[in-house]
Amino acid sequence: MSPPDRAALVAEAAAIISRGSKSFRLASRLFDRETRERAWLLYAWCRACDDRTDGQTLGHDTRKVDAPEQAFQAIAEATGRALAGEPVGDPPFDALGIVAAECAIPHGFIRAHLDGFALDAAGWQPATERDLLRYCFHVAGAVGCMMAVVMGVSPEDEPTLDRASDLGIAFQLANIARDITEDSLAGRCYIPAEWLKEAGLTAEDLASPVHREKVAAIAARLASLSERYEQSGRAGASRLPFRARWAVLAAASIYGAIGRKVAQRGAAALDSRVVIRKRRKLASVGLAFVRASGSGSEVERQDLWTRPR
């Protein structure tokens, strides 16, 4: 098999992120060209793994996967081949092979991300808040660590990687808060069993109109937890080059707005998917520029869950 064409893969990855996440696409445009292309290549692999595990198309139209564990095994096998330097013939995986080699992304971060898809394939649900945070690390915090390396952070810089993980966790918590009803209808539950017990609910109650107020309270709790990790992640951005710092702060503002809007809308947030409009996103980019131009602020990580080493 011929070696993959990097330019063609970058073009395809750009098309994938344009359709799969307008928010990340907007933020990625703030990077320098080299970092932007690498971010797109990494995103293409993450998006493909997520879609094939969840039965989605570019993050939408979730459908039941008939053999989720087999789907995961196919993802893991293709990833292993890409990391071994083999042409896979599957663009998102060839994209991973290129960016992983160019940036020397630690394979441990890649395996940690795959572990999150394995949990989904197994129909896993969290029992405790710590379980939830561990899951969020696998599906998003590990991506934050990989993106930090793409942006030039040393794999040995554990404090900065912790902050990158925190921001990824914040993004995932906001997503879970936004998608409680949608996930429930698809047979997924990411709400810790201990939280459900405290609220007097079961996983099956999450999509029921009868329990809207209780479910809205859980969504607000997720949004509040997301904000704590977001603040920590923002503090870590001060250690990045200016354009990378600008992009990260823009993404944090856009995704942070999702959680805050979920909390503000209360039960009404369960009626339709919370969306951040383009004008609000552009305002976030402008505000991020101002913040990136400043000195930033230190935020202690006290009492925050920390990614496994």
Q: Do both 85 and 226 map to the same domain?
A: no
Domain of 264, in residue numbers: 125-295
Structure tokens at 128: 């405790």
Helix%, strand%, coil% for the chain, nearest 5: 70, 0, 25
Within-domain flag for 300? no
User: How many domains, the chain?
Assistant: 2
Q: Do both 170 and 196 map to the same domain?
A: yes
Furthest-apart CA atoms within the chain: distance in Å: 58
Within-domain flag for 281? yes
Q: Which of 39, 11, 178 is nearest to 105 (CA)?
A: 39
Q: Which of 281, 145, 160, 292 is nearest to 232 (CA)?
A: 160
Structure tokens at 91: 């663009």
Q: Considering 72, 99, 124, which residue would you say is the last residue of a domain?
A: 124
Q: Considering 124, 148, 167, which residue would you say is the last residue of a domain?
A: 124
Q: Do both 94 and 131 map to the same domain?
A: no
Domain harbouring 276, CATH code: 1.10.600.10
Rounded CA separation 53/236 (Å): 31
| pLDDT at position 61 | 56
Q: Do both 137 and 253 map to the same domain?
A: yes
Q: Considering 60, 91, 124, which residue would you say is the last residue of a domain?
A: 124
Within-domain flag for 157? yes
Q: Is 57 helix (H, G, I), strand (E, B) or coil?
A: strand
| pLDDT at position 54 | 74
Q: Do both 290 and 167 map to the same domain?
A: yes
In contact, 173 and 144? CB cutoff 8 Å? no
Q: Do both 28 and 146 map to the same domain?
A: no
Within-domain flag for 304? no
Residue type, 266: G
Question: CA torsion 28→145→133→297, rounded to 10°?
Answer: -70
Q: Do both 65 and 157 map to the same domain?
A: no
Rounded CA separation 1/3 (Å): 7
Within-domain flag for 305? no
Rounded CA separation 34/41 (Å): 11
Within-domain flag for 307? no
Across the 309 residues of the chain, what is the mean pLDDT of every consecutive 10-residue run?
Answer: 89 94 92 97 96 67 70 94 95 97 97 95 94 98 98 96 97 95 90 97 93 94 96 92 94 90 85 86 91 78 91
Strand pairing partners for 57? 60
Within-domain flag for 280? yes
What is the Cα 12 distance to its own chain's centre? 20
Strand pairing partners for 60? 57
In contact, 230 and 170? CB cutoff 8 Å? yes
Within-domain flag for 24? yes
Q: Do both 24 and 99 map to the same domain?
A: yes
Q: Do both 119 and 194 map to the same domain?
A: no
Q: Do both 131 and 101 map to the same domain?
A: no
Q: Do both 217 and 70 map to the same domain?
A: no
Q: Do both 29 and 129 map to the same domain?
A: no
- Prediction pTM value: 0.93
Q: What's the Cα-to-Cα distance from 173 to each of 22, 28, 213, 258, rounded to whole Å? A: 19, 21, 19, 10
